């Protein structure tokens, strides 16, 4: 194989813009989500564990509810459970925004170099902008796109495609070839790859097995490590 595509992947760590996932990558919100999931299950007299929770990591709300319907006993309404879980989670998140260690420093260093950055998340856009605003991260993002603002959530590529389109308009990048995504979950990796992005995975709650399609998909132990690999063209 030869030509522009080969050159693109031979230079797989070159980038002009970065798109981040949010939950489990920038924020330690997956741990909080799991804690509130277990607490909600306990209210229903259920003994929920991580195995059932892990099936929902990275999914949008609609797909998450579908998983709940398969997990919960038939007499428990999945939507009611989701609403109670969500309310408990939002109450906890209102008290504190759990930014992952090292994230603030990475974002500030990239911002100082005027690197275009954006967020593509499975959370709702309004929630993401609020939480990232309180964390001091939103001000550095040219775009924040939530799953409710596109037709399909992850693992479909829609949220990434919409974010790339915004970056093209705002920052002057030419398109997907200028971007690299950072994700924590397998679902998110699949979404980024489906959008044509190269992706660096920083595993959070569930360990990564092996890169699904190197060099399109790489795995790092921390966000700082993964960003340090990049060849950023400013």
**pLDDT tens column, 206-216:** 888 777 676 78
Which of residues 32 and 224 earns the better pLDDT score?
224
Average pLDDT of span 177-202: 95
CA distance 228 to 65: 37
Provide the 10 A C-beta neighbour count for residue 102.
13
Query: How confident is the model at residue 221, as a pLDDT?
Result: 94
Spatial CA neighbour of 182 closest among 60, 4, 23, 72: 23
pLDDT at 182 over 50: yes
Query: How confident is the model at residue 175, as a pLDDT?
Result: 96
Helix (H, G, I), strand (E, B) or coil at 201: strand
pTM score = 0.83
Whether the link from the prior residue into 215 is cis, omega within 30° of 0, is yes
Give domain 4-27+99-232's CATH superfamily: HAD superfamily/HAD-like (3.40.50.1000)
Helices (H), 49-197: 50-54, 61-71, 78-95, 103-112, 125-134, 158-171, 186-194
């Amino acid at each position: 194989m030869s030509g522009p595509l080969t050159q693109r992947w031979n230079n797989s760590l070159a980038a002009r813009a970065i798109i981040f996932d949010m939950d489990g990558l920038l924020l330690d919100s997956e741990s909080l989500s799991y804690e509130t999931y277990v607490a909600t299950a306990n209210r229903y007299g259920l003994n929920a564990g991580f195995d059932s929770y892990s099936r929902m990591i990275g999914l949008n709300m609609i797909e998450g509810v579908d998983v709940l319907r398969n997990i919960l006993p038939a007499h428990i309404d999945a939507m009611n459970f989701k609403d109670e879980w969500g309310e408990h989670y939002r109450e906890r998140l209102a008290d504190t925004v759990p930014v992952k260690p090292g994230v603030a420093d990475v974002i500030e260093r990239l911002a100082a170099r005027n690197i275009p950055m954006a967020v593509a998340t499975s959370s709702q856009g309004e929630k993401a902008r609020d939480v990232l605003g309180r964390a001091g991260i939103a001000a550095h993002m040219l775009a924040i796109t939530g799953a409710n603002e596109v037709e399909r959530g992850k693992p479909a590529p829609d949220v990434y495609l919409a974010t790339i389109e915004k970056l093209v308009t705002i920052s002057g990048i030419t398109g997907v070839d200028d971007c690299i995504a950072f994700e924590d979950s397998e679902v998110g990796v699949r979404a980024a790859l489906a959008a044509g992005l190269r992706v660096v995975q920083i595993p959070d709650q569930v360990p990564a097995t092996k890169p699904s399609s190197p060099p399109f998909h790489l795995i790092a132990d921390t966000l700082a490590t993964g960003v340090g690999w990049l060849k950023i063209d400013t």
